[in-house]
A and B are shown apart, each in its own frame.
Chain A
Amino acid sequence: MMLRLTLRSLAAHRLRLLLTAVSVVLGVAFVAGTLIFTDTMDGQAGDIAGHLGRNVAVEVRAKDPGGRTKGVSVPVPESVLDGVRGVAGVREPVGVVTGYAALVGKDGTAVAAQGAQNPGSVSQTGGNWIPGGDHPLKTGRAPNGPAEMVVDEATAKRGGFRTGDEATVRFKGADRPMRIVGLVGSGDLAGRTLTLFDTPTAQRLLLRPGDFTAVRMASDGVSESVLRGRVAAVLPGRLEAITGTQLRTELRNDLATLSYVGGFLTAFALISVFVGAFVIFNTFSMLVAQRTRELALLRALGASNKQVSRAVLGEAFAVGVVGSTLGLAAGTGMAAFLQVILNGGATSAPAFSGTAVAASYVVGTTATVVSAYVPARRAARIPPIAALRDDVAPPQRALGRRVVTGTVLTALGGLAVLAGQLGAGLMAKALVGLGATLVFLGVTALSPVISGPVIELLGKGFPRWFGTPGLLARRNAQRSPRRTAATAGALMVGLALVGTVNVLGASMKASVSRQIESSFVDDYFVLPVRGSSIDADAIRRAASTPGIERTTPTYTGTVDLNGSRLEYSAGDLPTIMAPVAHRMAAGDLNAGTDGVLVESDVASAHHWKVGTILSARFPDGGGQDVRVAGIYPLVGLGNVMLPESLYKAHTPLPAAHSLSLKVRTADAATLRALRRSLAGYPDLGIYDRSGWKKEKVQSLDQMTTQITLLLALSVVIAAIGVANTLALSVFERTRELGLLRAVGVDRGQLRRMIRLESILIALFGAVLGLLIGLGFGIALQHAMAGLGFDVLVVPVVPLALCAVLAGVIGVAAAVWPARRAGRMDVLTAIAHE
């Protein structure tokens, strides 16, 4: 029976419930879209990984987990190939070479990879073509000799080349003419271009004659792990052997770099769902209030309070299921859209996993039912006698408890935030986060209590500016504090986050600019694209450019010190560390050849002091004792600094991660000369101080904008919530509105009244949200000041714009309810029962 009532009630309030469902739909669409997108990407990555590295039982490579993506600084010598040949069970060992090589198009620029660059790997890849390897020929023949190559189909097509054509290939250091003798497939390259040569050519041009990037081998029947053990036994110390399974897993993970995007998007999806929950809560509260008499009648006729609350929850469940279904459909569209913007084109059909479908329904339905729980409980408390009275509202608890809870939570949160400011380290940050959450909950609890006075203040001028409609609008916004607060709450969440992000973004920008000002001691800066590095030849070329006075490379890698693996930077320490020279915690920058500098919190964690002797082990397998020469403050430089000589003594193929250049005279001619010297290195970018700053600031700006845009979705949901509340209020006040019309208020005034009420509610939410966001932003900036994030900027204009935007949202949300109110017929309005 209750089921029938539920269904009927759903049918009767179709429009309202559809509006409620919209807030579910948007949140679920975001969740589903993210999941389908990441599933699709994972599927693509899986295809490629299934292709790459198949038949490989064991791979031998350098032991340098930290350095692998930063270019191959430790190669595998050819002798290893002969060594593993003698191991029982090894079949067909081959040397693999990879490096940077780009096909130059007819316009003189490198042919770009399809779609966005895959972060973390070189997108223009060169290598050696191996018979029976990962890239079988589609047409033509294998490359042979120093002037032949095969390329992947898609890249050839984009460059306008066919088999037999001459083409220029850009290597690190030089452009070379080559002939295309064949094509390999490129369906699954995930945005890479591929240029392959015979092995000696690849070694000479991409690496070093006599060296490989890795050696791979098949098995003649022995299991991968057994073979791996046997191979490992014959390797020199700096090399390691991994199983083919591990290799394929790693390749797959490398390709699935977009999964971090997935995590990021999921966070925003959940925010949307959370905001949607406010809207659902509100709608159901109002539906229950409006149906008080009907529900009371059921109670009078003997329905138990459980039956009544179940009927309400049943409606919520149905709304949740419908919303989730629509959300799933919308999410599929969104996944395609994400592929277009994040992956340079919808390259695969969307992959529906059971997880995505299940998650959509679980999230959508749970959010709805949980949000409707309190209204359902309230419905159950309606006394049967309410059916007989004219003036009843569902029982409401006084706001007194709210005041207490809200104040206590806010105060505790504030204290936690303050305490977090005093302390340092992870604990302090956790305290700030906890405090922020408490303040947020506290303000949410308090918001009905403060809504009255705040709206009084916000709408102070309304009666003067807008006459009676202005006064009525303000009174209406004040008359149901809980409702106003819950409606505004959805906006508050979104705008609090927008506020936080913008304060943090602006502060970060200012901090980074200042850091660059103070740490960019030289004139130019050379940086490789992500995943590439600067080899010795490039450093030599830069140094010998006319007009360059000093060239300071910085190297990075990992080292084990007394058994702890630490990330290091290496180079000419007095130059690199010049900006912090006067802030050293202990010791100095003169490390000599066996000294290292250690970051203060690493040193204190291990109880290392100046003069402590540490035993160091390097990825090349070598080791030696080093001395702590100095301890430097926390400035974001990394755990350990090594002198260049120490780095070079343990790195067969040094490759720098950045280059700092000082010039004799900073003029356009020097820059031109520098560009000319490095022309052969398309993977290196040259920046001057302002260019570098612009680059950094731009990427921060971009990040802030992107996050703000993602948060905009939650603001849209909140706007729907405002519209929903208003529409329900209009319906609830039909009689009252009819009376106003009867005493001479015209349609326009009625509409204006609703619009103004909407603006007040929206502004209330925006003001609370932005204030909270401002507080969080300031607290977080403060807590992170130790990480070099030490300038606070309050972006007044963007925040003010947000407040204005909230007003606009108010107007937009009121369009439909206002129209409805205006259209109402006076007589039916009064007769409305």
Chain B
Amino acid sequence: MTRELRPAPAVDASNVVARATALCKSYGVGEARVVALDRVDVAVRAGELTAIMGPSGSGKSTLMHCLAGLDSADGGEIWIGDTEITALDDRELTRLRRDRIGFVFQAFNLVPTLTALENITLPLDIAGRRPEPGWFTRVVDAVGLGDRLGHRPSELSGGQQQRVACARALVARPRIVFADEPTGNLDSRAGAEVLDLMRLGVDTFGQTIVMVTHDPVAASYADRVLFLADGRVVEEMADPSAEKVLERMKRAEGAR
């Protein structure tokens, strides 16, 4: 990355992995125009699990896609580490995703024709890197798939598939992992296993993770929760518990 002309913002720079300032994004034109993000400012701190919550349509996914360089912003700045990404071209964005960012999606995370193990090493393979052996074993052990690593995604349960997706995100040791409702399709037990794995990633591997979720229980695994409403960050909560989050959500409902 060579576009590092501007100095990184001063605020607690050492601890911030990703940040957005005055981020704007809208879809459609005229009557059909929808403002998905309305001058959002966020900062993601290193080594933390940050949850993003908010009612459906509040712009959670859009925020995440913009932060990850998957979608383009209309205005504002986005920094991943010391790189401002809104001006990058496709080739540079591709390298950014490849080298610095990991993803876990709600569904369709895995390439159906590859085995679980091959899916885990996919980002490294694409980049032409070899996994660090010790690290690789630890991550794969943490997934707890045992002898099912050679199976195709279609032969795994939804929870197992999501854990494979998490492992894939962790194995490449990206600066930051984005997860969009990773437990949205899972029952509570499978969901808990996935969340445990993400927590493990943060606690023992020092990974930075941003997770969008609807579920107060999922949010309680996070170190910090950002609440979005109508394309704006309306509140921030540190050390959340399921009860606190639920109560906050009820309050928001009542305010309507």
Contacts and interface: CB of A to CB of B under 8 A. Distances in A.
Give 8 closest A-B pairs by Cβ, nearest first: A302-B98, A1-B125, A8-B113, A302-B97, A12-B113, A385-B70, A303-B126, A301-B123
Contacts of A388: 61, 65, 70, 105-106, 180
B108 interface: yes
Given A2-B126, A302-B99, A388-B105, 14 more contacts: A1-B128, A5-B111, A5-B113, A5-B114, A297-B105, A299-B97, A300-B103, A302-B97, A302-B126, A302-B127, A303-B98, A304-B91, A385-B70, A388-B70
A259 interface: no
Contact of A300 (B70, B106, B125): B70
Interface residues of B, number: 31
A299 B94 contact: yes
B95 interface: yes
Interface in A375-420: 383-385, 387-388
Nearest to B69: A384
B112 interface: yes
Contacts of A302: 94-95, 97-99, 101, 123, 126-127
A387 B105 contact: yes
Nearest to B122: A301
B236 interface: no
Interface string B49-93: 000000000000100010000110000000000000000001100
Contacts of B98: 301-304
28 contacts: A1-B122, A1-B128, A8-B114, A9-B113, A12-B113, A293-B108, A294-B111, A300-B97, A301-B97, A301-B126, A302-B95, A302-B98, A302-B99, A302-B101, A302-B126, A303-B94, A303-B98, A303-B126, A304-B95, A305-B90, A307-B126, A383-B70, A384-B70, A384-B97, A385-B65, A387-B105, A388-B61, A388-B180
Nearest to B98: A302
A298 interface: yes
B65 to A, nearest CB: 6
Contacts of A743: none
A395 to B, nearest CB: 13
A311 to B, nearest CB: 11
Contacts of B99: 302
Contacts of B91: 304
Interface in A1-56: 1-2, 4-5, 8-9, 11-12
Interface string A305-316: 101000000000
Contacts of B103: 300-301
Contacts, number: 74
Interface residues of A, number: 26
A384 B126 CA distance: 15
B41 interface: no
Interface string A358-389: 00000000000000000000000001110110
B223 interface: no
A82 interface: no
B165 to A, nearest CB: 10
Nearest to A384: B70
A735 to B, nearest CB: 14
Contacts of B168: 301
A667 interface: no
A680 to B, nearest CB: 78
Nearest to A301: B123
A107 interface: no
A30 B77 CA distance: 61
Interface in B214-236: none
Interface of A: 1-2, 4-5, 8-9, 11-12, 293-294, 297-305, 307, 383-385, 387-388, 833
A471 B99 CA distance: 51
Contacts of B127: 302
Given A302-B99, A302-B123, A307-B126, A833 B70 contact: no
A28 B70 CA distance: 43
Contacts of A385: 65, 70-71
B109 interface: yes
B66 to A, nearest CB: 10
B212 to A, nearest CB: 11
Contacts of B106: 388
B193 interface: no
B38 interface: no
B196 interface: no
Contacts of A299: 94, 97
A432 to B, nearest CB: 47
A34 B201 CA distance: 64
Contacts of A293: 108
Nearest to A383: B70
Contacts of A8: 113-114
Contacts of B114: 4-5, 8
A215 B125 CA distance: 77
Contacts of B128: 1
B120 to A, nearest CB: 11
Contacts of A305: 90, 94
B179 to A, nearest CB: 12
Contacts of B107: 833
Contacts of A298: 111, 122, 126
Contact of B108 (A1, A12, A384, A833): A833
B109 A297 contact: yes
A8 B70 CA distance: 26
A304 B112 contact: no
Nearest to A6: B113
Nearest to A386: B70
B98 to A, nearest CB: 2
Nearest to B70: A385
A393 B179 CA distance: 23
A826 B127 CA distance: 41
Most A Cβ at <10 Å: residue of B99, B113, B127, B180: B113
A300 B94 CA distance: 8
Nearest to A307: B126
Nearest to A12: B113
A303 to B, nearest CB: 5
Nearest to B91: A304
Nearest to B115: A8
A417 B22 CA distance: 63
A572 to B, nearest CB: 82
Nearest to A304: B94
A388 B109 CA distance: 9
Most B Cβ at <10 Å: residue of A8, A9, A298: A8
Interface in B150-174: 168
A293 B108 CA distance: 8
A383 B97 CA distance: 13
